[in-house]
């Protein structure tokens, strides 16, 4: 059984799945085979048998980092998470159900119910509980010290992370078997025709406000037992406590992270829509006081830089990189030999109105040459190809001059294809890869803290960059004709007309899985050329076409689960099966609060909450499954949209 949330605009569908059962649970099995000869072939009945042991492996004491897709709240994040249930998303969808919380007994009905209970739980603690010794930080011990039986492939010296929790605290926060079943579900995301399957483990405790909180993903294999309760049929699974004393209970910890719940720290919307956040085109900001004779040049993304002449003098120059605020006011890009410069010197321009030099294109040409020389393998392949191509052309010219050559001696093969490594190198430069940041943004004031800057790619700048690289190995002025042809090959029409953005915000580091969608005039997203974090808190996006609208959001796989604060407590609005809002609402949610924890450290009574959901949704609702519970508990991911105009 599953529930689905979809968005037609971005062709994204999320399906909540109850569980992803495995054919075999992790463990050791014995396979026995018997072969009996038919009576027609053998007078005496003869049979032979053999048995083989096989082991189904699965994470038990250690979880590779690659198995964890994401966590929420973000690791080391700080924000208003007071009403959010933390969760962890796992890459392998079957992982939570690969082991059992109790051993099978051969009772099919019982064992089938047991397999639906995951062996993983997410427990949340506060910094005060850690400081008081109610829970210890993760400690590394050996499997021999842990005292667990070993499986094939495990050694007594293998290391494992454990935490020790006092019984009085663990009794408050440890979910029952039924709650464990509801708190873990599978999730399928279909995005642009591609499927992504994940497993999600949700905590049952709200973070404590104004404090540092620590989340631990713990292993509960064989830690539960069935207990007969008068009001529950069949018997409920509950955690096994070794004794009645308040002795620390040791749990294997597979993943830990911490975050701070602070009401004065903004969320994604707070980061991108706060008063300190600015949104405009990429250029040097205006002066706060007084006029500026270079105001027009500033709006064109020029920056004033010191320039040292070859004979030692200094001069004031202007420079803009490949990222400019507006379309270049130059002639359309041409690729004939007249537009292929002989050197960088020929690209230095004098701006007549301001009587100042513009070295933008000259710097691009020289940078392209230096970058090509730095990549020695590509440079050597390009240089060798130019030599070989020159020899082919010489043979072609010789064939035309000498009419006595026979057909067998025809060497007219024309221009040979450019090496793929060189094409790839030029394509990466068009994606702004390996370009020094100072060349992209010459003035730090262009991209201040808490800012979003929109830009266009200056095609003339990029053409000069590639021209400088392709000039390597030039033997004479005649080669400029060939470089014009090379440039048209590596700078095709589909690589032009690109736009993008630079986002500098703490949200970039706080949300490493931040998703961005850029739209033009239509409803379909623009093709993404590059979306990458290029520095601390700095995100670069590059797209084919002109951006008119930008959307920043957290991924649907990162949907968080939470409640609504109301009247000093928590409430929950319910939704219908089709995803629409339901008039039903739970006004006061039952909580289990550890002594001294306060409301922010409350534990949600998941069993009571699920029963209340089922009652309010009506008798036709059916059984409350993990998929349905997650569907009701999930909150839409944050999304911020900017109209570029």
Q: Can you give the residue ranges of every domain in the chain?
A: 2-27+55-268+559-643, 278-504+515-553
The pLDDT of residue 531: 95
- Give backbone dihedrals phi and psi of 409, rounded to 5 degrees, phi first: -95, 15
Helices (H), 402-458: 420-430, 437-440
| DSSP-assigned states of every residue in 604-637 | E-HHHHHHHHHHHH-TTS----HHHHHHHHEEPP
- Joined together, the tokens standing for residue 354 give 């301001």
The pLDDT of residue 586: 83
C-beta of residue 600 within 8 angstroms of C-beta of residue 570: no
- Give backbone dihedrals phi and psi of 324, rounded to 5 degrees, phi first: -125, 160
The pLDDT of residue 10: 45
Nearest to 631 by CA among 192, 188, 215: 188
Core vs surface per residue 167-203: b (16+ CB within 10 A) or e: bebbbbbbbbbbbbbbbbbbbbbebeeeebbbbbbbb
Q: How far is Cα 308 from Cα 522, in angstroms, rounded to an integer?
A: 48
| pTM confidence score | 0.64
The pLDDT of residue 14: 79
Q: How far is Cα 543 from Cα 447, in angstroms, rounded to an integer?
A: 19
| DSSP-assigned states of every residue in 330-344 | SPPP--SGGGS-SSG
Q: How far is Cα 220 from Cα 120, in angstroms, rounded to an integer?
A: 6
C-beta of residue 638 within 8 angstroms of C-beta of residue 546: no
Q: What is the mean pLDDT of the chain?
A: 82
Residues with pLDDT less than 50, the chain: 1-2, 4-10, 328-337, 405-414, 596-600
The pLDDT of residue 549: 92
The pLDDT of residue 596: 44
- In this structure, the chain runs to a length of 645
């Amino acid at each position: 059984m599953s529930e689905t949330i979809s968005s037609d605009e971005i062709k994204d569908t999320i399906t909540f799945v109850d569980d992803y059962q495995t054919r075999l649970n992790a463990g050791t099995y014995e396979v026995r085979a018997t072969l009996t000869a038919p009576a027609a072939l053998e007078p005496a009945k003869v049979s032979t048998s053999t048995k083989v042991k096989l082991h189904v492996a699965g994470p038990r004491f250690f979880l590779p980092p690659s198995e964890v897709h994401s966590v929420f709240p973000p690791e080391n994040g700080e924000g208003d998470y007071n009403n959010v249930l933390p969760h962890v998303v796992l890459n392998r969808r079957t992982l939570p159900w690969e082991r059992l919380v109790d051993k099978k007994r051969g009772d099919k009905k019982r064992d089938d119910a047991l397999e639906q209970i995951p062996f993983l739980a997410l427990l949340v603690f506060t910094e005060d509980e850690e400081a008081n010794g109610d829970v210890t930080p993760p400690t590394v011990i050996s499997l021999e010290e842990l005292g667990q039986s070993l499986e094939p492939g495990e050694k007594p010296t293998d290391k494992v992370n454990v935490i020790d929790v006092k019984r009085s605290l663990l009794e408050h926060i440890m979910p029952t078997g039924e709650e464990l079943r509801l708190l873990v579900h599978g999730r399928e995301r279909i995005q642009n025709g591609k499927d992504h399957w994940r497993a999600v483990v949700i905590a049952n405790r709200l973070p404590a406000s104004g404090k540092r909180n620590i989340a631990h993903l713990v292993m509960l294999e064989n830690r539960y037992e069935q207990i007969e309760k008068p009001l529950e049929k069949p018997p409920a699974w509950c955690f096994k406590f070794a004794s009645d004393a308040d002795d620390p209970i040791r749990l294997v910890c597979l993943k830990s992270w911490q975050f701070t719940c602070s009401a004065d720290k903004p969320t994604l919307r707070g980061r991108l829509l706060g008063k300190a956040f600015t949104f405009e085109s990429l250029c040097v900001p205006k002066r706060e006081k007084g006029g500026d004779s270079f105001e027009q040049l500033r709006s064109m993304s020029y920056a004033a830089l010191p320039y040292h002449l070859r004979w030692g003098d200094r001069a004031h120059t202007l420079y803009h990189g490949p990222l400019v605020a507006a379309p270049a006011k130059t002639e359309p890009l041409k690729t004939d030999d007249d537009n292929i410069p002989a050197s960088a010197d020929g690209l230095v321009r004098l701006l007549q109105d301001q009587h100042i030099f513009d070295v933008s294109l000259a710097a691009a040409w020289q940078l392209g040459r230096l970058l090509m020389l730095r990549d020695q393998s590509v440079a050597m392949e390009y240089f060798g190809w130019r030599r070989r191509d020159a020899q082919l052309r010489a043979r072609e010219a010789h064939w035309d001059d000498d009419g006595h050559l026979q057909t067998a001696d025809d060497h007219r093969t024309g221009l040979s294809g450019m090496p793929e490594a060189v094409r790839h190198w030029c394509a990466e430069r068009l994606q702004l890869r390996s370009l020094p940041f100072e060349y992209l943004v010459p003035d730090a004031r262009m991209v201040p803290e808490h800012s979003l800057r929109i830009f266009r790619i200056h095609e003339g700048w990029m053409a000069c960059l590639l021209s400088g690289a392709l000039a390597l190995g030039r033997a004479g002025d005649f080669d400029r004709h060939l470089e014009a042809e090379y440039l048209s090959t590596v700078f095709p029409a589909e690589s032009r007309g690109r736009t993008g953005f630079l986002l500098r915000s703490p949200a970039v580091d706080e949300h490493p899985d931040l998703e961005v969608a850029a739209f033009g005039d239509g409803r379909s997203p623009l093709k993404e050329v590059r979306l990458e974090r290029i520095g601390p808190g700095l995100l670069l996006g590059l797209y084919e076409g002109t951006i008119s609208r930008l959307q920043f959001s957290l991924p649907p796989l990162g949907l968080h689960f939470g409640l609504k604060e109301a009247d000093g407590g928590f409430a929950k609005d319910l939704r219908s099966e089709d995803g629409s809002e339901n008039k039903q609402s739970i006004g006061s949610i039952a909580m289990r609060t550890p002594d001294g924890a306060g409301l922010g450290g409350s534990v949600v009574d998941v069993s009571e909450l699920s029963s209340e959901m089922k009652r309010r949704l009506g008798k036709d609702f059916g059984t409350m499954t993990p998929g349905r519970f997650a569907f009701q508990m999930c909150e839409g991911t944050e999304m911020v949209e900017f109209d570029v105009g």
